[in-house]
A and B are shown apart, each in its own frame.
Chain A
Amino acid sequence: MSRTDAVTRILFEAFGAAEVRTFYLIGYAAIAVFCYGFYVQVRKYRRGAALALEGGIWSRFGTMLSTVLSHRTLRRRDRAAGAAHRLIFYGFLLLFAGTATITLEYDILEPLFGIRFWHGEFYLVFSLVLDLAGVALILGLLYMMYRRGWLKPPKLDYARPDRVAGDADFNRPQYRREDWAFLWLLLIIACTGYVLEAARLVWLQARPDVWDTRWWSPLGALLAEGMRASGLDARSAGWVRHSLWWFHGLIALLLIALIPFTKVKHIFTSAASLMVRDPLAAQRLARIPESQPQPGVAKITDFNWKQLLNLDACTKCGRCHEACPARAVGAPLSPRDVILSLRDFAQATLESGRIPDAAELDVHGKAPGQVAMETLWSCRTCMACVEICPVAVEHVPIIVQMRRKLVEDGAMDPLLTKTLQTIHKTGNSFGESKRKRGAWSKPLPFAVKDARKQPVDVLWFVGDYASFDPRNQKVSQIFASLLHEAQVDFGILYDGESNAGNDVRRVGEEGLYEVLAAANVNAMTQASFKSVVTTDPHSFNTIRNEYPDFGGKFEIEHYTTLAQRLFAEGRLQVTKPLKYRVTFHDPCHLGRFNKGYDAPRELLKLLGCELIEMGRCKANSFCCGAGGGRIWVPDPVGSEKPAQNRIKEAAAIPGLEVYVVSCPKDLTMFEDALKTTGNEGKFVVKELIELIREAVPARLTQEANA
């Protein structure tokens, strides 16, 4: 055996047999507690409703692994916290792996098979790596402490917008205590590790296999030199090492035992949540199974196991809290607090041996852990929360499921009730006669084809707002003219079309959605066309992502991509470039929901506009406030509306001329907000279609000549 081969990790050196046995006993106890806690958690999730996942487990595992290892989701919108977490994560992972491999060799491989690898150069390199890992861990922890203690970002304030000061669960100081306890515990484990290492070096300084290789643990060696310089002799160091060994070991075992019972469990739950992530969670809501007696979620056990797991995955990072438009304007909703509230509720009810009576499982209400209807109705289902969540918590489906129950009980704003009844009766939210649906096309100098009567290349699904709202009808007329001039063979369904149902579904009126979807799928199936286009991102989303569940598989695009193609093919030509300074508002259902970020921007460039982005753009676009059926319910008087908040953001752009939208509801919301924020006259709100019209003047004269 060469000299370096003798080098190995000092483990139980100088421990009596009884002492080693005691340690093992405590170790096993800690593992037992961990296992029990793990079981309790899994039992809690299994008490939720069943859910079958699509897709293979290995591809899910692969995606999860790459997300976790790359910290892709964690670095978004908070680079520093992401970097610090990466240091902690990799530091902890390496240290844990190191400790685990020691156990692997010492307790399993060597006694059973006589295999040893934890010595020689392998050990030295690993000891260097672990030493550095410890540094990473400590740096990460210190930054997190600095962040919580001094930076205090508002998103880490646990005060709830849906509670008032004095409520039992208003700002939840226990969360803060737990956060700090977690950080301190890890920091103490890391630091005692170094001191322990240094003390061991000083203690065994006479042994060349230990002392001569000390610089493979640079930080430990440095500390050891310091100890020696301050006069610590080998014997005292041995004593320090012995007691610290126990302290360090016990506290590490304590951490392991605590994992399932504290926020530390996010190590498992967040990873698992990422693994069961549904990339279309908000875009394609779940149907209500025929066998389900009551729609939606009334009791905590009505959530499926995945949703219960989602609750535990939350790390309170506050990204959803920060992104939520309802929260931003002071509505009583924070997606974070919906999740945490339900998590506390699940913990209180589903972790004991026996499930309480149904009456105690009701998640609706104002008691601690329950979610109030005002909170649920504040949601605009804009998906900002789902999109930014680093651990794949899917808030929107949870909120909609709870709304389904409210709808069933009729617990909603009377105006919303009225609108739903109107939609049921007339097929549109305006309460207009069905046969007036195509009336906007009458003033056009050409007839818009009836796609029910003759085949067309492109079926235009117009949607409610573009059909009935007078301001949006103008946009529809322009778009029809553009299509006509570009010689696109298109038609509409006239009164065969109904409200697409996107927002009805997000309100939680699933039965009405089923009726609307079935009617539209039926009308579209009977028409003959190659593809579908729409100017309405809401219709776009539901037809694209949800109609397939109702037997309607259509190729559909938003007008922005069609227009882009028409320009590329030269069927539309910019003859009058616009020199406007513009900003673009990404509609939730086009952008976040369907990743249509590029086409509108490229169109603006093509038109010659100078695009200045708002701070909140693309994935972080700020909802106009109309989603989730909220366009049918007025916002409370006196409070800021999301659209006003957004217009103020745009107004800060120097020299802004046009605030460009590409969604009928946006046009309505923002033209209103422009007036109510006193920005009228400073800049204008325009539909991108209107800008195209300006840059592509009508070719009527040319046609006349031809």
Chain B
Amino acid sequence: MKILVAVKQVAALDEDFAIRDDGRDIDPDFLIRDLNEWDDFSLEEAVKIKEASAQPVEVVALSVGSDEVDESLRKCLAKGADRALRVWDTAIEDSDSIAIARVLAAVAKREAPDMLFAGVQSSDQSFASTGIATAAFLGWPHAAVVSNLEYAPGAKLALLRRELEGGLLHEVEIQCPAVLTIQLGINTPRYASLRSIKQAAAKPIEVLSLADVGLSAADVGVAGSLSRVRRMYVPDKGRAQLIEGDAAHQAARLAEIIREFKGAAA
């Protein structure tokens, strides 16, 4: 039995940051990289299923990215993944979520897992589409925003709950294999001690090229994407203003502003 967990190394902004010269992303010097928070939960879910299962289950962490992603994959290995796969080719740069999903789906075909987990979204790009697009490429059933899962490896069906707006829950039965995007809070991710991360260095991270997964440069990057980032920028500051003067004057001005807004809304 096998569970494939697609993870992403996300970027967080440092205190001060600068936009890249081409104006379409942050200068990488100002980014702090870490495993996507959602992926902590999806990996934990897979490892928990593995630990609870009587029959052997293999948990495989999968990511797309350059060798700096290895750090996050090692964290996955430290937390209980049995092996890790990383797909990279410089052609993959500038891929959108659809192109990434195409790569993930290609690996999933090769690995033929019983279940594929992904996070609901990534904390840096927030597309929330990679997992679902992967399901589309695979032609597998999918469920998004999964907050509870009952699944025994090898079973034909999994029972899950999904979070909907307004505090509603969906209880769903889904055929396996399926793609599930896992929501925060579904479990309590374990702590990967530094020692276990170090020891995880001994576990293999297999690096795959596009050819290895049966894709070509045309399937990824700008060519394989359905969308393109035009510009990244910090919007102009809001319209906060400090009302000067004594209390009476301030109160009068405040009332005036409120009336203006009411008038605008009316």
Task: From known contacts A425-B34, A426-B32, infer whether A407 and B193 are also in contact, taking CB-CB under 8 Å.
Answer: yes
Instruction: Supply 7 A–B pairs (Cβ within 8 Å), ascending by A.
Output: A295-B193, A408-B196, A421-B191, A435-B15, A509-B194, A511-B193, A512-B194
Residues of A contacting B15 in the complex (Cβ-Cβ under 8 angstroms): 432-433, 435-436
Within A385-409, which residues are at the interface with B (CB < 8 Å)? 407-409
A420 to chain B, nearest CB (A): 7
Task: From known contacts A414-B188, A433-B15, A435-B15, infer whether A425 and B32 are also in contact, taking CB-CB under 8 Å.
Answer: yes
Residues of B contacting A412 in the complex (Cβ-Cβ under 8 angstroms): 191
Task: From known contacts A425-B34, A426-B32, A433-B14, infer whether A511 and B198 are also in contact, taking CB-CB under 8 Å.
Answer: yes
A515 near B194: Cβ-Cβ < 8 Å = yes
B71-101 vs A, Cβ < 8 Å mask (1 yes, 0 no): 0000000000000000000000000000000
> With A and B bound together, what is the CA distance between A436 and B32 in angstroms?
14
A511 near B195: Cβ-Cβ < 8 Å = yes
Interface centre among B34, B188, B194, B196 (most CB of A within 10 A): B194
By beta carbon, the residue of chain A nearest B198 is A511
Which of A414, A435, A509 is in CB contact (< 8 Å) with B193? A509
> With A and B bound together, what is the CA distance between A510 and B198 in angstroms?
12
Within A412-448, which residues are at the interface with B (CB < 8 Å)? 412, 414, 417, 420-421, 424-426, 432-433, 435-436
Tell me if A288 is interfacial: C-beta within 8 Å of chain B. yes
A364 to chain B, nearest CB (A): 16
B35 to chain A, nearest CB (A): 10
Within A199-234, which residues are at the interface with B (CB < 8 Å)? none
> With A and B bound together, what is the CA distance between A435 and B193 in angstroms?
25
Residues of B contacting A288 in the complex (Cβ-Cβ under 8 angstroms): 195
A408 near B32: Cβ-Cβ < 8 Å = no
Residues of B contacting A435 in the complex (Cβ-Cβ under 8 angstroms): 14-15
By beta carbon, the residue of chain B nearest A408 is B193
Residues of B contacting A509 in the complex (Cβ-Cβ under 8 angstroms): 193-194
Residues of A contacting B128 in the complex (Cβ-Cβ under 8 angstroms): none
Tally chain B residues at the interface, Cβ within 8 Å: 14
Residues of A contacting B193 in the complex (Cβ-Cβ under 8 angstroms): 295, 407-408, 410, 509, 511-512
Known: A407-B193, A410-B190, A433-B14. 4 other contacts (CB 8 A): A425-B32, A433-B15, A512-B193, A515-B194
> With A and B bound together, what is the CA distance between A292 and B16 in angstroms?
43
Tell me if A514 is interfacial: C-beta within 8 Å of chain B. yes
> With A and B bound together, what is the CA distance between A433 and B31 in angstroms?
10
Tell me if B197 is interfacial: C-beta within 8 Å of chain A. yes
Residues of A contacting B14 in the complex (Cβ-Cβ under 8 angstroms): 433, 435
B191 near A511: Cβ-Cβ < 8 Å = no
A625 to chain B, nearest CB (A): 23
Residues of A contacting B34 in the complex (Cβ-Cβ under 8 angstroms): 425
Residues of B contacting A511 in the complex (Cβ-Cβ under 8 angstroms): 193-198
Which of B16, B190, B191, B195 is in CB contact (< 8 Å) with A510? B195
Residues of B contacting A515 in the complex (Cβ-Cβ under 8 angstroms): 194
Task: From known contacts A433-B14, A435-B15, A511-B197, infer whether A407 and B191 are also in contact, taking CB-CB under 8 Å.
Answer: yes
By beta carbon, the residue of chain A nearest B191 is A410
B102 to chain A, nearest CB (A): 31
B149 to chain A, nearest CB (A): 20
Interface centre among A295, A412, A424 (most CB of B within 10 A): A424
> With A and B bound together, what is the CA distance between A417 and B192 in angstroms?
9
Residues of A contacting B195 in the complex (Cβ-Cβ under 8 angstroms): 288, 295, 408, 510-511
Residues of A contacting B16 in the complex (Cβ-Cβ under 8 angstroms): 433
> With A and B bound together, what is the CA distance between A435 and B31 in angstroms?
12
A417 near B191: Cβ-Cβ < 8 Å = yes
> With A and B bound together, what is the CA distance between A412 and B194 in angstroms?
15
By beta carbon, the residue of chain B nearest A516 is B194
A10 to chain B, nearest CB (A): 69
Within A511-547, which residues are at the interface with B (CB < 8 Å)? 511-512, 514-515
Task: From known contacts A426-B32, A435-B14, infer whether A420 and B198 are also in contact, taking CB-CB under 8 Å.
Answer: no
10 closest residue pairs by CB, A with B? A511-B194, A511-B195, A410-B191, A410-B190, A433-B15, A512-B194, A433-B14, A417-B191, A408-B193, A511-B193
B27-39 vs A, Cβ < 8 Å mask (1 yes, 0 no): 0000010100000
> With A and B bound together, what is the CA distance between A510 and B195 in angstroms?
7
A424 near B191: Cβ-Cβ < 8 Å = no
Within B157-213, which residues are at the interface with A (CB < 8 Å)? 188, 190-191, 193-198
Within B228-248, which residues are at the interface with A (CB < 8 Å)? none
B196 near A420: Cβ-Cβ < 8 Å = no
> With A and B bound together, what is the CA distance between A432 and B14 in angstroms?
8
> With A and B bound together, what is the CA distance between A63 and B191 in angstroms?
44
A497 to chain B, nearest CB (A): 17
Interface centre among A410, A417, A436 (most CB of B within 10 A): A410
Residues of B contacting A436 in the complex (Cβ-Cβ under 8 angstroms): 15
A175-193 vs B, Cβ < 8 Å mask (1 yes, 0 no): 0000000000000000000
> With A and B bound together, what is the CA distance between A514 and B14 in angstroms?
25
Residues of B contacting A408 in the complex (Cβ-Cβ under 8 angstroms): 193, 195-196
A159 to chain B, nearest CB (A): 34
> With A and B bound together, what is the CA distance between A417 and B190 in angstroms?
9
Residues of A contacting B194 in the complex (Cβ-Cβ under 8 angstroms): 424, 509-512, 514-515
A470-502 vs B, Cβ < 8 Å mask (1 yes, 0 no): 000000000000000000000000000000000
Residues of B contacting A512 in the complex (Cβ-Cβ under 8 angstroms): 193-194
Residues of A contacting B196 in the complex (Cβ-Cβ under 8 angstroms): 408, 511
> With A and B bound together, what is the CA distance between A469 and B195 in angstroms?
29
B191 near A420: Cβ-Cβ < 8 Å = yes
By beta carbon, the residue of chain A nearest B13 is A433
> With A and B bound together, what is the CA distance between A546 and B199 in angstroms?
23
B18 to chain A, nearest CB (A): 13
A489 to chain B, nearest CB (A): 30
By beta carbon, the residue of chain A nearest B197 is A511
B249 to chain A, nearest CB (A): 33
Residues of B contacting A510 in the complex (Cβ-Cβ under 8 angstroms): 194-195
Residues of B contacting A425 in the complex (Cβ-Cβ under 8 angstroms): 32, 34
Residues of A contacting B190 in the complex (Cβ-Cβ under 8 angstroms): 409-410
Residues of A contacting B197 in the complex (Cβ-Cβ under 8 angstroms): 511
B239 to chain A, nearest CB (A): 29
By beta carbon, the residue of chain B nearest A439 is B15
Residues of B contacting A409 in the complex (Cβ-Cβ under 8 angstroms): 190
B25 to chain A, nearest CB (A): 19
> With A and B bound together, what is the CA distance between A408 and B199 in angstroms?
12
Residues of B contacting A433 in the complex (Cβ-Cβ under 8 angstroms): 14-16, 32
> With A and B bound together, what is the CA distance between A679 and B246 in angstroms?
35
> With A and B bound together, what is the CA distance between A87 and B15 in angstroms?
67
> With A and B bound together, what is the CA distance between A510 and B193 in angstroms?
9
By beta carbon, the residue of chain A nearest B32 is A425
> With A and B bound together, what is the CA distance between A582 and B7 in angstroms?
57
Within A251-297, which residues are at the interface with B (CB < 8 Å)? 288, 295
> With A and B bound together, what is the CA distance between A433 and B16 in angstroms?
9
Residues of A contacting B198 in the complex (Cβ-Cβ under 8 angstroms): 511
A417 to chain B, nearest CB (A): 5
By beta carbon, the residue of chain B nearest A423 is B194
> With A and B bound together, what is the CA distance between A122 and B91 in angstroms?
101
> With A and B bound together, what is the CA distance between A210 and B167 in angstroms?
100
> With A and B bound together, what is the CA distance between A657 and B136 in angstroms?
72
A102 to chain B, nearest CB (A): 59
By beta carbon, the residue of chain A nearest B17 is A433
Residues of A contacting B32 in the complex (Cβ-Cβ under 8 angstroms): 425-426, 433
B36 to chain A, nearest CB (A): 14
Residues of B contacting A417 in the complex (Cβ-Cβ under 8 angstroms): 191
B241 to chain A, nearest CB (A): 27
> With A and B bound together, what is the CA distance between A514 and B197 in angstroms?
13
> With A and B bound together, what is the CA distance between A511 and B194 in angstroms?
5
> With A and B bound together, what is the CA distance between A426 and B194 in angstroms?
14
> With A and B bound together, what is the CA distance between A295 and B190 in angstroms?
17
Residues of B contacting A424 in the complex (Cβ-Cβ under 8 angstroms): 194
> With A and B bound together, what is the CA distance between A509 and B194 in angstroms?
7
B1-29 vs A, Cβ < 8 Å mask (1 yes, 0 no): 00000000000001110000000000000
B261 to chain A, nearest CB (A): 36
> With A and B bound together, what is the CA distance between A408 and B197 in angstroms?
11
A351 to chain B, nearest CB (A): 33
